[in-house]
Structure 1
């Protein structure tokens, strides 16, 4: 049976919010792809409501691309405690944490959510900018660490 990296992580020992490299893949041609765990909430303690998660997904997908080159995808975690970021090349966790902090500050100033029509979104009615801002505020107040096992 294949081992899934995130299932190997001891979720009882991490201290959210944090960013961590969850994997780095290199192919024969030398291309590098990194997977990041962008953990906003403490596992098994809290979870983002779906409307907040969905809105944050749209905002992170838009705003993080302005901060970090080479983003392939940003996807919500099924446990609703954060997001996975897939990105070309290697990036320092501290740079990803700084970019996420900057983007969450931008979320607090946001007045409209991108791509929330039936044409652009598969569940366009399930968004909450208010809730997204509230959770962004909580994460910013706690501070985003680049070490999942220590608090800032």
Structure 2
């Protein structure tokens, strides 16, 4: 099988930040790297699930709701992908930061954390989600409007 492009990105060089992962016509995929791969601990999966629920709910109720296609965690638990349509990189950054600020400051029930709304509704950890969001927001972040190194397909 052919090696996929995301495995060609040198993960030893990635820092916490927001990057362009790829573009497909009017669709932009952002790499929201919450931890430094292979250098910092990955997110707790329960925390990532909680961030997914709160972040997706907030983004789909924000001013960019009509642009949002997907917000979800990377399998390696080092970040999230935000996929948007008809929205540029610079316009998306404040919404990513705000979504994570909402997670950091969240009080109350987690959206969609009920058995009729989620297939694993008890697999949540709000305190760890808040800690992960704070870890990202308190860092000196990279904001790179270029494709991740090795992602030649996206160029």
TM-score range, shorter chain: 0.7 to 0.9
Give the structure, 1 or 2, with the largest relative contact order (CA under 8 Å, sep 6 or more).
2
Alpha-carbon contact 1:64-1:103 (below 8 Å) kept: yes
Aligned counterpart, 2:152: none
CA distance in 1, matches of 2:92, 2:106: 21
Aligned counterpart, 1:29: none
**Matched position secondary structure for 1:37:** strand
RMSD between aligned alpha carbons? 1.9
**Structure 1 stretches lacking a partner, 5+ long:** 27-31
Q: Following superposition of structure 1 onto structure 2, how do residues 59-74 of structure 1 map, counting pairs within 5 Å?
A: 59-65=54-60, 66-69=62-65, 70-74=67-71
Aligned-pair distance for 1:144? 3.4
CA distance in 2, matches of 1:49, 1:100: 20
When residues 67 and 60 of structure 1 are mapped into structure 2, their CA distance, relative to the original with a 3 A threshold, is farther
Aligned counterpart, 1:15: 15
CA distance in 1, matches of 2:63, 2:80: 16
Alpha-carbon contact 2:20-2:144 (below 8 Å) kept: no
CA distance in 2, matches of 1:137, 1:3: 34
Alpha-carbon contact 1:104-1:136 (below 8 Å) kept: yes
Alpha-carbon contact 1:19-1:96 (below 8 Å) kept: no
Q: TM-score by structure 1 length? A: 0.84
CA distance in 1, matches of 2:133, 2:144: 19
When residues 35 and 68 of structure 1 are mapped into structure 2, their CA distance, relative to the original with a 3 A threshold, is same
CA distance in 2, matches of 1:100, 1:124: 24
Q: Relative to structure 2, which stretch is displaced further, 77-86 or 94-103?
A: 94-103
Alpha-carbon contact 2:55-2:102 (below 8 Å) kept: no
Q: Relative to structure 2, which stretch is displaced further, 48-57 or 96-105?
A: 96-105
**Structure 2 stretches lacking a partner, 5+ long:** 147-155
Q: TM-score by structure 2 length? A: 0.83
* Large movers: runs of 4+ above 3 Å: none
CA distance in 1, matches of 2:145, 2:125: 28
**Matched position secondary structure for 2:27:** strand
